[in-house]
Chain A
Amino acid sequence: MTKRWAPVVVAGVLALAGCSSDLPDDQASAGGSPSSDASKSKFFDQAEYDRQLAFRSATPQGPDGKPWEQMLEPEMVDTAQFAKPGGKYTLCFSNAAVNNPWRQVGFKTMQQEVKLHPEITTFTVLDAEAKDDKQISDIQSLSGKKCSAIIISPNTTATLTPAVEQACQTGVPVIVFDRGVNTSCPVTFIHPIGGFAFGADGAEFLKEKVKPGGKVLALRILPGVDVLEQRWAAANEIFGGSELKVVGVEFTDGDAAKTKSIVADYIQREGRIDGVWMDAGATAVAAAEAFQDAGVDVPAIVGEDQQDFLRLWANENLNAVAPTYPTYQWRTPIIAALKILKGEQVPKEWVLPQPRITGDNVKDYVKQDMPPLHYAMCGCEAMPGYPGPWK
């Protein structure tokens, strides 16, 4: 008797308790399949590569001198359905992490951007501490709050797609930036041109500056990070079509000491190194120092827009280039959210310009009083309160 009734009772209890699922309805995933070519990285995508390289020379629309408001070849979408006149907005932000200087600078810039807009009354931030699982929970709990708009900087692409879809279904406008997701449901996806352009900027510089047959060392942070893999895929493509000799591709874990050791080993082993390519500039100073400590000139080198590298570059007159993945992109989501809430059009894919720093303009970006790991391309110099929060 008891046994026979048990399932019924359980089913009844479940029904009463309101068994429900937070799984979003099925949607057609918009992720394209990357073209595969045996000789190339599986991260190489010819069409996307061509598109990004073309973006570099395209003229952006938008106000001069404010690259964070500019857009490349925008395809505007209507946002009237999200219009919520009257201000008093609560913006919610699910951040992947603040675990590196790049994200630190970006996040501070974003916080200052919020302060510029009195119509934002609350800015709620949940930090996922680089954990996919936590970010899924974070997005879930933001979906339950009274957010006017949800901004998401995903920790990884594929794994956060369901959570982003779920947030979209609450009817609140969703804005994704930095890394993308495999769904087209967010109102806008904001990002600089991309990894292929970044990698190509550095590789093209070496192709131009290093004599044919010269030895190039490629230093990568770690494998398996899509953004970094794209940078390498592009560089690999360009090196493949050049007469440069890539003598080594090494992973540094972003560790300055390890970088220095690796570069020193290569200088010893190869006799000379004519160019250094990097997928991220965090260890560029360490690499340059390895040459200095070995008593040889620093060759053509690729860095990034961190102050320590820019200072070294300017002081030592290095032959260098710094592609950037600008931190000013952290301003754009706030601007986009307000546009959407006012019912103004925004691009479906908001592609920001991605400048690079060259020997001609490096002095403009050196800021002696800023911290060594500050990113110059923050677009924050004119913000009220600068440089306080960034120091």
Chain B
Amino acid sequence: MSVLQENTLPVRSRTTRPAMRRRFTPTVIVYLALVALLVVGSVLVGLRGEVLLDQGGILNILTRATALGLVAIGQTMVILTGSLDLSVAYLVGLTSLIAAETMAGRNGMVVPGVLLALAVAAGVGLVNGLVITVLKANAFIATLGVALILRGYLEDNYTGPAGDVPRGFQHLGYDRIGPVPVAALLMLAAAALAWWYLSRTRPGYHMYAVGGDIEVARLSGVPTRRVIVTAHVLCSVAAGLTGIYLASRLGSGAPYVGTDAGYDLESIAAVVLGGTLLAGGRGGVVGTIGGVLILATLDTIFDDLEVDPFFKDVVRGVVLVTAVALYARRMVASRARGRLA
């Protein structure tokens, strides 16, 4: 089996692999790690006489996972196609402002506000995609450049939070069913939609193909440019949804809500932690959600244990590199066996 073929095949069709190896895909590892983390965390928090997974704890983990999850779903798509997006953090801030300013406290403007924010997000994604495919700038620089332009716009036009979200719309950010926030369910629904799109539709299949090997994809008739542009538009729309969600939670738009949270690098970390190959072509949304949940759970455990915030960064860094090293080892092992077969 050659490297080339292996990469063009999407995850789901790797049916020729022995069952053992299929069982331990990165996605499975992520969720096993999540379970292990929850167990260890519960014990550690339990030692302090508290409960990790009580109503508040679950609410906390899911709330934390919502915004990052939405961004990471979009980031998964661009990374799968072999690209990446460094502009999402500023875009989150921008769309939160557009949504909140359009609504301006009026219930009737909720729908226009949401639509306008999404339209602007899609436009930014389109620009990202076109700069990459038509101007042929590589994605790192293209999206970094767009991020800088968005930053300039935000700095020039805003001096802090602006706009006002009507109270009715704030229910999106605050309502919950038992311990599960409604917004987290919507995020999971978005993830399910993305999963369906990536694994059950032709355009989704094309994303894997382009990420696997763009030349092969082009030769086999995949409209590579369109696929990349689509991935970027979808990624930006996901960032737009995040901005809208945060606007509903904050009650107004905030220019730096995305950058303060570091959604650009953190979403990439979550995607990679979830087992998606940074080079593209392999992975998926299910793993990403696992990665996001791991990061959110870590945060919640750290808070319960009152860990020094600087120590958190150290752990995050180590976890990220360790996880990716594990996936890499697995791939090496499976490929070695693949060659023997």
Tell me which of A20, A131, A136 contacts B176 (CB under 8 A): A20
Tell me which of B64, B160, B246, B312 contacts A156 (CB under 8 A): B160
The CA-CA distance from A132 to B248 in the complex, in Å, is: 12
B250 within 8 A of A: yes
Contact A162 B170 (CB under 8 A): yes
- Across the interface, which residues of B come within 8 angstroms of A57, CB to CB? none
Given contacts A98-B309, A129-B309, contact A43 B159 (CB under 8 A): yes
B56 within 8 A of A: yes
Contact A137 B159 (CB under 8 A): no
CB under 8 Å from chain A, chain B span 226-280: 246, 249-252, 254-257, 260-261
Contact A159 B161 (CB under 8 A): yes
CB under 8 Å from chain B, chain A span 225-271: 225-226, 229
Nearest-neighbour CB distance to chain A for B26, whole angstroms, equals 27
Given contacts A23-B167, A137-B63, A141-B60, contact A132 B254 (CB under 8 A): yes
CB under 8 Å from chain B, chain A span 124-147: 124-127, 129-134, 136-138, 140-141, 144-145
A9 within 8 A of B: no
Contact B174 A157 (CB under 8 A): no
- Across the interface, which residues of B come within 8 angstroms of A159, CB to CB? 161, 250-252, 254, 257
Contact B249 A22 (CB under 8 A): no
- Nearest chain A residue, comparing its CB with the CB of B62: A137
- Nearest chain B residue, comparing its CB with the CB of A136: B249
The CA-CA distance from A132 to B245 in the complex, in Å, is: 13
- Nearest chain B residue, comparing its CB with the CB of A97: B309
CB under 8 Å from chain A, chain B span 272-308: 299, 303, 306
Interface centre among A20, A43, A130, A131 (most CB of B within 10 A): A131
A21 within 8 A of B: yes
CB under 8 Å from chain A, chain B span 17-49: none
A161 within 8 A of B: yes
Tell me which of A136, A138, A222 contacts B250 (CB under 8 A): A136
Contact B171 A14 (CB under 8 A): no
Contact B178 A17 (CB under 8 A): yes
Nearest-neighbour CB distance to chain A for B114, whole angstroms, equals 18
Given contacts A18-B178, A132-B250, A224-B255, contact A23 B171 (CB under 8 A): yes
The CA-CA distance from A17 to B175 in the complex, in Å, is: 13
- Nearest chain A residue, comparing its CB with the CB of B302: A127
Tell me which of B57, B67, B175, B299 contacts A21 (CB under 8 A): B175
Given contacts A133-B246, A141-B303, A161-B251, contact A156 B161 (CB under 8 A): yes
Nearest-neighbour CB distance to chain B for A99, whole angstroms, equals 8
Nearest-neighbour CB distance to chain A for B333, whole angstroms, equals 37
B153 within 8 A of A: no
Contact B261 A156 (CB under 8 A): no
Contact A22 B176 (CB under 8 A): yes
Contact B250 A137 (CB under 8 A): no
A26 within 8 A of B: yes
- Across the interface, which residues of A come within 8 angstroms of B306, CB to CB? 124-125
A42 within 8 A of B: yes
- Across the interface, which residues of B come within 8 angstroms of A145, CB to CB? 56
Bits for B315-335, please: 1 = Cβ < 8 Å to A, else 0.
000000000000000000000
B158 within 8 A of A: yes
Nearest-neighbour CB distance to chain B for A206, whole angstroms, equals 24
Contact B171 A21 (CB under 8 A): yes
A19 within 8 A of B: yes
A296 within 8 A of B: no
Given contacts A124-B306, A126-B303, A137-B60, contact A19 B261 (CB under 8 A): no
The CA-CA distance from A161 to B299 in the complex, in Å, is: 23
Give 22 CB contacts A-B under 8 Å. Answer: A18-B178, A19-B176, A97-B309, A98-B309, A131-B257, A133-B257, A134-B64, A134-B299, A136-B249, A140-B56, A140-B59, A140-B60, A144-B56, A155-B260, A156-B254, A158-B161, A158-B251, A159-B161, A159-B252, A159-B257, A222-B155, A226-B160
The 10 A-B residue pairs with the shortest CB-CB distance, nearest first, are: A159-B250, A23-B174, A144-B56, A224-B159, A158-B161, A21-B175, A17-B178, A22-B174, A131-B261, A127-B309
New A-B contacts (4) at CB < 8 Å, excluding given A129-B312, A157-B160: A14-B177, A20-B176, A156-B161, A222-B155
